[in-house]
């Protein structure tokens, strides 16, 4: 079931019910694995407990075909499986109705105005991002690298949608170098897509010591900027913790 030392935390012993020797998982097989390189316990298809599982690209609609959908613009239907997906070769796999996932036409809020952020230089808390890639790592949580400080994946980003800005000339970031790193900060702010970088922060360990939060104002390229419902990306390239940002 688990390591006996770990089990002590949950009060499992050979005398409890279930006991440490009780087979809790009755079956673990016929799985499809893909991109599991960073998992704490990589899948092991072919082993006795996972004998019939396979490792293969699931062929999601939004990630294949002549035009792949950008990760930050995908909807439920883009995560559907292609009819050619190897998942359909596994016994017991059934397609779910992805078309029924998400807000329906009877949603009573005005989607054009819902969730607008940042008017009048209001700070935007970093943990309220919409979507993320590569920010959650083994043992990680929220936007920070986590208690064991695994580095962000290359290309990591956090997206903030529907940001309103009027006449901004700088972006203010409250950030800090994560404990366990060598210090220093490297990150960018982008507009529209991760390629639309409008500000860069690059500090050495003296300017950004480990575990110390600092507030930094960075001039914006193309200032002054006036945005209405814009996509804003934070792009961390070093081990850091981000508190908030705002346009001024």
Domains of the chain plus CATH, in order, are 124-247 (2.60.120.260)
- pLDDT tier, 76 (very low <50, low <70, confident <90, very high otherwise): confident
- What is the reported pLDDT for 1? 42
Cα-Cα-Cα-Cα torsion 29, 31, 36, 39, nearest 10 degrees, comes to -40
Residue with the larger pLDDT of the pair 200 and 22:
200
- Which of 99-103, 210-214, 230-234, 243-247 bottoms out in mean pLDDT, i.e. has the lowest? 99-103
Please check whether residue 53 is in contact with residue 33, taking contact to mean a CB–CB distance below 8 angstroms. Answer: yes
Q: What is the pLDDT of residue 149?
A: 53
- The CB-side HSE value for 114 (13 A sphere, CA atoms) comes to 6
Residue 88 pLDDT greater than 80, yes or no: yes
> pLDDT band for position 223 (50/70/90)?
very high
Higher pLDDT, 136 or 110: 110
């Amino acid at each position: 079931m688990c390591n006996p030392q770990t089990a002590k935390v949950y009060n499992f012993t050979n005398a409890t019910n279930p006991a440490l020797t009780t087979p809790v998982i009755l079956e673990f097989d016929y799985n499809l694995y893909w991109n599991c390189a960073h998992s704490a316990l990589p899948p092991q298809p072919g082993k006795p407990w996972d004998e019939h599982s396979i490792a293969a690209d699931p062929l999601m609609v939004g990630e294949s075909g002549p035009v792949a959908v950008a990760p930050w613009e995908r909807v439920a239907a883009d995560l559907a499986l292609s009819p050619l997906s190897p998942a359909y070769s596994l016994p017991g796999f059934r397609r779910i109705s992805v078309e029924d996932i998400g807000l329906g036409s009877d949603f009573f809020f005005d989607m054009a105005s819902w969730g607008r952020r940042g008017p009048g230089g209001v700070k935007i808390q970093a943990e309220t991002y919409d979507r993320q890639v590569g920010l959650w790592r083994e043992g990680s949580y929220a936007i920070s690298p986590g208690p064991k400080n695994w580095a962000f994946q290359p290309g990591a980003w956090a997206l903030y949608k529907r940001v309103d800005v009027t006449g901004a000339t700088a972006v203010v970031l409250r950030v800090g170098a994560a404990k366990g790193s060598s210090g220093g900060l490297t990150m960018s702010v982008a507009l529209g897509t991760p390629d639309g970088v409008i500000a860069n922060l690059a500090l050495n360990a003296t300017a950004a010591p480990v575990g110390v939060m600092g507030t930094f104002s960075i001039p914006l390229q193309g200032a002054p900027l006036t945005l209405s419902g814009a996509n804003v990306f934070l792009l961390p390239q070093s081990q850091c913790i981000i508190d908030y940002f705002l346009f001024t």
